[in-house]
Amino acid sequence: MRIGTFTLTILTFIFLLALLNGFWLSRLFRTEWRRIFRWSYAGLTLLSAAAYLGVRVTGQFDGPGSLSLLFYFGPFWTVLQLMLIVSWPFSKLLGLVQKRWELFKQINEQEQPQNSAAAAMNLPMTRRVFISHAAIVPPIAMTGINTLGLVDAEVRSVLRRIDLAYDSLPGGLAGLKIGHMTDVHIGPYVSAKDIQHMGCLLLQESPDLFAITGDLVDDVKHLPAAMEALQPLMTKVRLGTWFCMGNHEHIRGPVQIRRILQQYGVNILDNRCQRLSFDSADFYVAGVDYPMNVNTAARQIAAKEYIATACAKIPSEQFTLLLAHHPDFLPAAFSRDIRLTLAGHTHGGQVGWGRRSALDFLYPYMRGVYQEGHNMAFVSSGAGHWLPFRLNCPPEVSLITLQQKA
């Protein structure tokens, strides 16, 4: 993978944050230790940059254990810098509390003098030691949380089962099972072995249709191996595998990616639709391309145009399944009376709060099932990541089953 603007931006970001965090953390140590700490922190930052750069260049992620740990140090250190910035106010607050406690203790000792022996055994620590002991707790906690997030992202993939009940579902579509995968980001931190595991999770559920809603690949040279890993699933779904483009496909090379996917029998929906039959009932699957180089407002305008083009040949009142990478397409899909829309892109914020995201404020449709009238949509948390950190929001593949509401 070539080193592009994105990678250079990440490296610059790491250095700037590490400069701030290193200076702040060093003040929690005694004067004689500060220089050693700052040089050590700078060395770890350089090591993380080298690890991040190395994995982007070589794409090695299934190598020896020690090498893998080195490669993972890059994103670990990057996320840690963000979390340390967040911990600053908490450290300051604990420092102030500790300072007040020290002052209270000194006043109390002055009002209740002790004998010299007892006083010698209860000499208060210096203010700096007190404050440093309190202020160091948030950085240590953030380091632990960061470790848990990396492990959660790399060792836990889950199957999410979702039953959607409709008031007026065509009788033949009851029981239709749709396997959904999105935001896999095949590349440095998601391998063919990971893809195979995800495919097996879905294969055990015998889906009738397999939908992939973009951002499948980050490193195109690993795409053929990943598609080979998905073949056991793709050959079993009787209604085929359907795909819509995400922003990462456009970034990494849309022409080559389309060619590889088509070689493996993937049906690519670029603002078009296809009629399918399931148990004597007809329905349509439609897909929209991803509009690049537009802001949120322009994307919503493009969403209406893309959906109108994709669904132009669909008769009214016909059940339609829409595949869209970005959840900004959901309002246009709801207004178009599309019964079910599948999307991704958000990764669920990669931080969960119960069954929702702790970062719901970032997107109107962040994670889970949404409904407007008799139309529904599902935004998946994604099966992978380009930055391995997930906290209570594990990588997921989904099985959506259509049902008739009783």
Residue-wise DSSP of 248-270: HHHHH-HHHHHHHHHHTT-EE-S
* 124 strand-pairing partners: none
Angle formed at CA 348 by CA 394 and CA 339, multiple of 5 degrees: 115
| 281-287 and 272-278 strand pairing | antiparallel
SS3 370: strand
| Separation between Cα atoms, residue 74 and residue 327, nearest integer Å | 30
Kindly report, residue by residue over 330-387, the tens digit of the pLDDT.
999 999 999 999 999 999 999 998 888 988 889 999 999 999 999 999 999 999 998 8
User: Distance between CA 234 and CA 30 in Å, rounded?
Assistant: 61
Tell me, what amino acid is at 167?
D
> Position of tokens 């911990």?
87
Domains of the chain: 5-152 (no CATH), 158-404 (3.60.21.10)
Structure confidence by residue, pLDDT tens digits, 113-171: 555 444 444 444 454 454 556 778 888 889 999 999 988 888 888 999 999 999 889 87
Q: Is the pLDDT of residue 399 over 90?
A: yes
Better-scored residue on pLDDT, 266 or 12: 266
pLDDT tens figures, 13-64: 888 989 998 888 888 777 888 889 899 999 999 988 888 777 777 665 555 4
Distance CA(342)–CA(55), nearest Å, equals: 31
Please give the Cα distance from 370 to 228 (Å, whole number).
33
- Cβ atoms of residues 276 and 283 within 8 Å: yes
Encode pLDDT of 160-208 as tens digits: 999 999 988 987 899 999 999 999 999 888 989 999 999 999 999 999 9
The DSSP line for 202-215 is: HHTT--SEEEE-S-
Length of the chain: 406
Question: In the structure encoding, which two tokens stand for residue 98, read together?
Answer: 């500790």
pLDDT, greater one: 322 or 9: 322
Predicted confidence band of residue 1 (pLDDT cuts 50, 70, 90): very low
Q: Quick one: average pLDDT of 243-265?
A: 96
CA distance 236 to 233: 5
- Which two tokens mark 378? 């599902």
Neighbours of 156 (CB within 10 A): 11
pLDDT at 65: 57
Residue 10, token pair as written in the block: 């990440």
Q: Each residue of 285-319: pLDDT tens digit? A: 999 999 987 888 888 899 999 999 999 999 988 99
> What is the reported pLDDT for 114?
53
How far does the chain reach from its first CA to its final CA, in angstroms?
Answer: 52
The SS3 assignment for 358 reads: coil
Contacts of 255 (CB under 8 A, 6+ apart): none
Residue with the bigger pLDDT between 89 and 254: it is 254
The total of other beta-carbon atoms located within 10 Å of residue 292's CB is 13
